[in-house]
């Protein structure tokens, strides 16, 4: 009754960075792990995007400095304390183009939760031998 709420391990709260129309950069969003897809959602206004596991080709987790160098050809960091990690989901769009989504967070717990996404997708047989 007055205890803590049990945390749902199928939901990951992160900050959105790039890759989706209608999502504001550096605003919170939620990634929900479903049986066969990721649901990426935001509020105000409500917007949900479904990404089937079968379209995901790779998953990356990088410190901010490495992410900016690899994806934007710039150096530096914006983190005031600690390390900001970027979580990248690479996928093939329905039209066959390679694309990616990027999210970030500073919490160490997020890395563990993000790895569960990778494990879930590997169970589906898409990311065999891909290592973060």
Domain CATH number, residue 77: 2.30.29.30
Residue 37: domain span: 11-123
**pTM to 2 decimals?**
0.84
In a domain, 85, yes or no: yes
Is there a contact between 114 and 93 (Cβ–Cβ < 8 Å)?
no
For 86-112, the pLDDT digits (tens) are 999 999 998 999 999 999 998 878 888
Q: Which of 73, 90, 86 shows the shortest CA–CA distance to 127?
A: 90
How many whole angstroms separate alpha carbon 22 and alpha carbon 46?
10
In a domain, 6, yes or no: no
Which residues have C-beta within 8 Å of that of residue 130, sequence separation ≥ 6? 58, 59, 118, 122
In a domain, 5, yes or no: no
Is there a contact between 41 and 47 (Cβ–Cβ < 8 Å)?
yes
For 35-87, the pLDDT digits (tens) are 888 999 998 889 999 999 889 988 888 999 999 999 999 887 776 777 889 99
């Amino acid at each position: 009754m007055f205890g803590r709420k049990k945390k749902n391990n199928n939901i990951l709260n992160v900050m959105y960075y790039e890759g989706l129309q209608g999502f504001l950069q550096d605003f919170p969003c939620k990634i929900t792990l479903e049986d066969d897809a990721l649901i990426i959602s935001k509020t105000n206004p409500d917007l949900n995007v479904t990404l089937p596991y079968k379209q995901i080709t790779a998953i990356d987790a990088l410190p901010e400095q490495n992410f900016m160098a690899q994806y934007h050809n710039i150096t530096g960091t914006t983190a005031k304390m600690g390390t900001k990690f970027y979580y990248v989901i690479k996928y093939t769009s329905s039209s066959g183009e390679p694309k990616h989504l990027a999210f970030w967070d500073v919490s160490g717990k997020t890395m563990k939760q993000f790895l569960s996404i990778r494990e879930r997708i590997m169970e589906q047989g898409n990311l065999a031998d891909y290592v973060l």
